[in-house]
Each structure stands twice: as C-alpha cells, then as structure tokens.
Amino acid sequence: MYTIKEDVIRSNIKRILQTNSLMLVVKDDAYGFGIKRIVPIAIQCHVKDFAVKSIEEGKLLRSLNKDIRILLLGKTKSTDVLDLIKYKLIPTINDYDDYVLFKENKIPCHLAIDTGMNRFGMKSGYLAIINDSIVKAIYTHCYNDQNRHKIKFMERLARNYLKPLHIGGSIAYQQTNSMLRAGKMIYENALYFYGHIVNIKTLSKGETIGYDGHYEAQSNVRIGVCDIGYSDGLNLFYHGNVCIKEKCYSVIGRCCMDQCFILIDDSVQIGDEVEFFGKQLSEEQFIKENQMTKYEMFLQINHKGLTN
C-alpha cells in the first residue's frame, strides 16, 4: 500500500518554477501517480503545459481543463487528426511525413529534434520546415550527462529561428534557462510505501520459510509475514530493510505474490505497520536494494493499494 505526499509534489514543482517554466510529463497515468490526481495539483501551482504519450491520455487531460496546452510525445497516426483538432492536442513532428500530415490539416505542432537518443525526432532535414508557421516550438530530449553542447545547440537554434524551446528530461535541470520538460523529478520522494504484519511464525533451527525454502533458520527465530509481495512492487528476492515502530528489520527468503517475510523480535505484533520507504527509509536505498530504476519503481508499485 502507499500514500502520495501531495506537499512533496507541490514542493518539487515549485522548485523547478523558481528557475524554469515547466512542461509536466504525465505519461503512463502520471508515472502511475494518477493523471486525475497530479494535474489539478500542477494547475494550482500555475503549470499550463503538459506532455502525454497517447491520444487517450490527451483526451483525459482535456476533460480536466479546457485551457491547458497538451503535447503528444512520439508518433501520431493519420487517423488521429480529427481527435487532434477536436481536443486541441499538439502533435509532434518526428519525420517529414508527420510534417506533411499536419501541414495539410493546418494543425499546430512542435518539432522534435533528435540529438542522439535515436528514439524519436528528426536527425536531419528539420531546417527545411522549422520556419513554417505550424511549428510552434522545438524540443529535444537529454538522455545522459553529456548534455551541455546539445542544450547550447538547441538554444542557438531557437534564437536563430525565433522558436520557443523546451528541453527534457529531468537530467537537464539546472543546465538550461529554457522551459524544462520534466516527469520523474516531480514525483521523487512523494511516496510512502508500506504494508502490515498479517501473521507471525516461530521457526526452529533448520526450518525454512517460503517457496523453495530459500531461508533456513540458523537458530530459533520469529518471522513476521507482511502483506506486500512481488505483485505490489517488490523484487522476487528483495532482501532490503524495513522499519517497524522506528526500528529496522531485514526481509528474508523469497517473496510471494502478496507477502514477504521479515526477521522480527518480540516487540513486533500482528497489525503493525511496515515501512519500506517514505518516512524513515529513503527511496534511493529501496531502489538499490530492490534492483530497479526509480521509473520502474513508480510504475510497479501496486496502485490498487492507494489509501488517499
């Protein structure tokens, strides 16, 4: 289960707005935090630009607010034209065929320039279309820490052609004064991920617990069964620390779909709350011990466990 710390979301947004304008990336249902939850918070913080990956997400955003600007990342299809117009969505030019489609239908768009990630965007030929009036802005995506020359190139291009510019991702923060297109950093440290002790077992020396008996007791021990497992966001062999009543304990054995096992002492009781991260334990340590990236962590934590 988890709760979202909305005050942290607001603080992260405001921190960026101190130095940059912001286009908030809310793809994949706002990194799993929920578009319907995050977008109103951002609007309250005076964010007016958002980026999504699909027409469906764009429609949802438009239903929440009629005045915000909504950019579609990636490719759009010719069959999407009517929806682009109806919902006032801004598509991306990723190649010359995109440009022709949007030009023929007089659809305002942004031009993506590929500066090395080789995912989306034009690597060449963009100077032939950048001056077109349908091109309302240009952008690129920073994908590693070798960004300075790419950012300077894009900033010169924007100045030379008098086009607004936005730079992503979060790694570009503090490297440009242009609009920042950010997602992951908005959601950092905004989760409290926890479960509860639902059963307690006493193992004698030599006994095992869980599938395949990966943990064998070396002495008589007390084991707490927690209602968080690999369907909730844990690695199958997660062996990190948890916090119960301000004291740290170790996860042992192999996780089940809905449970994991914790080596506990006599102070722990059924019903006690088990923190994985968010109050006393850090996201960074959890991610390291759980062997996943922060983005994976955001998306894998089970959102049916949301409590507020």
In this prediction, residue 30 carries a pLDDT of 93
In a shared domain, residues 264 and 196: yes
What mean pLDDT is predicted for residues 78-98? 97
The pLDDT confidence band at residue 146, using thresholds 50, 70 and 90, is: confident
In a shared domain, residues 213 and 70: no
Residue 99, Cβ neighbours under 10 Å: how many?
Answer: 21
Q: What is the pTM of this model?
A: 0.88
Instruction: Name the residue with higher pLDDT: 153 or 294.
Output: 153
What mean pLDDT is predicted for residues 40-50? 98
Q: Assign residue 59 the CATH number of its domain.
A: 3.20.20.10
Number of separate domains in the chain: 2
The pLDDT confidence band at residue 224, using thresholds 50, 70 and 90, is: very high
The pLDDT confidence band at residue 74, using thresholds 50, 70 and 90, is: confident
In a shared domain, residues 182 and 196: no
Contact 24, 13 (CB under 8 A): yes
Answer whether residue 194 shows pLDDT above 70.
yes
In a shared domain, residues 25 and 96: yes
Q: Which residue has the tokens 């922060």?
A: 294
Mean pLDDT rounded to a whole number for the chain: 93
